[in-house]
A and B are shown apart, each in its own frame.
With several copies, the nearest count.
Chain A
Amino acid sequence: MQTHNAKRVEITIEAIMQKRLTDALTAAGVTGYTILPVFGGSGRSGPWSREGQIGRASGMVQVVCIRRPEDVDELLDAAFAVVERHIGVVCVTDCQVLRAERF
């Protein structure tokens, strides 16, 4: 099966910042992303879990965005501008995709 090189960018960010991030990604030309719920985690700001929470202040999501390698720097710049002052993690992996025309 014919596959094409791409980059998979996974951004773990506070749920409250989700819309700001995806707006910034869209502004940077991103055409698609997938949002995964996060159940809990731990980091420098301590452990947390979404169980029983009703507030939107706690809780994170993972935004996964697959893009052509040549366009990833633009994506990272846009993402960084949003996450800069916030907690969260950005992680980039090499990958292959089917149907490259979609990215």
Chain B
Amino acid sequence: MDILTLAANNLLSPIILSFALGVAAALARSDLSIPQAVAKGMSIYLLFAIGFKGGVSVADHGIDATLGLSLLAGIILSFLLPLIAFALLNVMSGLSRLDAAAVAAHYGSISIVTFVAGTSVLESAGIASEGYMVAVAAAMEAPAILSALWLISRGDSGRKMENDLWREIMLNGSIVLLVGSFIIGMVTGQEGLAEIESFIVSPFKGVLCLFLLDMGLVAGRGLREGGKVMRPGLLAFGVVMPVIGSVAGLGFGVLLGVSTGGVMLFMVLGASASYIAVPAAMRVAVPEADPSIYLTLSLGVTFPFNLTLGLPLYLSVAQWATGG
């Protein structure tokens, strides 16, 4: 499939259209909304399912050296990307040091829904990927926060990392659930999967549609409220940075010699920006940074870009780079 067909297929999938419906409804000020408890319930379902399936896949294929190296690569990527993002923001936007560092943290970390959408594009295309990429995703959630805090402390020596914060970040619900269900999947393997397959495999894409409807609603509301902070430089950053992140991911993926699907997922992880773990950490550690900037940028600009254009682009490049 060439990239245009891929992009068209992707744009017209129920998943993307559900997201678009959410954005449109929010921009039109419809009162359509998904209760917070239901949204959280769906996110728990998705994390559990994606972690479990990743673990089962690792149980099938065994643990090899690449797993450890991939984890390491993910951690390095997560540490490095905020530095690039920070430098880029200094050039492209007029953000204050604090705001820029807070935004930068988001781009080193990852968005698990973008990752899920990526695996779903791979599935549709019938391309396999390493099951442990889920673990790489989990490993990339937190390091970026450290980088950002280091960037900030350079300029403000009075500020030091709160004792509790680090524990809070490492043990935040989404990491624990992802890693926990990954381990459960690894331990129970195909036998465990067979028991709960009709819960975590068959309805998965449908739940993802409703979840993306919700994310569209939240992103649309964010654009309505936070759109005024989106100056052109910032907007451009929200599109340029994921492309840079994906190139970094491409480099690591090719270097490690993972499969075509693995390379694509490395690109997706590099490209995606956090909107759950990092915002929460930033509110605690850098309350002076304006949340509407990083939330709007991550959820309102980069997420839709990755979802619509990024994914087919990354897949095409991964196929080209691996000859797959």
Q: Which residues of A contact B (CB under 8 A)?
A: 14, 16-17, 20, 45-58, 85-87
Contact = CB atoms under 8 A, between A and B. Distances in A.
Per CB-CB distance, the 8 closest pairs between chain A and chain B, nearest first, are A57-B279, A51-B33, A57-B280, A56-B280, A55-B276, A54-B43, A52-B214, A52-B34
Nearest to A86: B287
B144 interface: no
Given A16-B284, A17-B284, A57-B280, A47 B217 contact: no
B36 A50 contact: yes
Contacts of B2: none
Interface of B: 31, 33-36, 39-40, 43, 164, 172, 214, 217-218, 221, 225-226, 275-276, 279-280, 282-284, 287-288, 290-292, 295
B225 A55 contact: no
21 contacts: A14-B283, A16-B283, A16-B284, A45-B291, A46-B225, A47-B225, A50-B36, A51-B34, A51-B36, A52-B214, A53-B39, A54-B39, A54-B40, A54-B43, A54-B214, A54-B276, A55-B279, A57-B276, A57-B282, A58-B295, A85-B287
B169 to A, nearest CB: 11
By DSSP majority rule, is chain A's interface helix, strand, loop, or mixed? loop
Contacts of B217: 51-52
B25 to A, nearest CB: 11
By DSSP majority rule, is chain B's interface helix, strand, loop, or mixed? helix
A57 B282 CA distance: 8
Given A46-B292, A58-B291, 17 more contacts: A14-B283, A17-B283, A46-B225, A48-B225, A51-B33, A52-B34, A52-B35, A52-B39, A52-B214, A52-B217, A53-B218, A54-B214, A54-B276, A55-B279, A57-B282, A57-B291, A85-B288
Given A20-B164, A45-B292, A46-B292, A53 B287 contact: no
Contacts of B283: 14, 16-17, 57, 86
A27 to B, nearest CB: 13
B302 to A, nearest CB: 15
Contacts of A50: 36
A56 B280 CA distance: 6
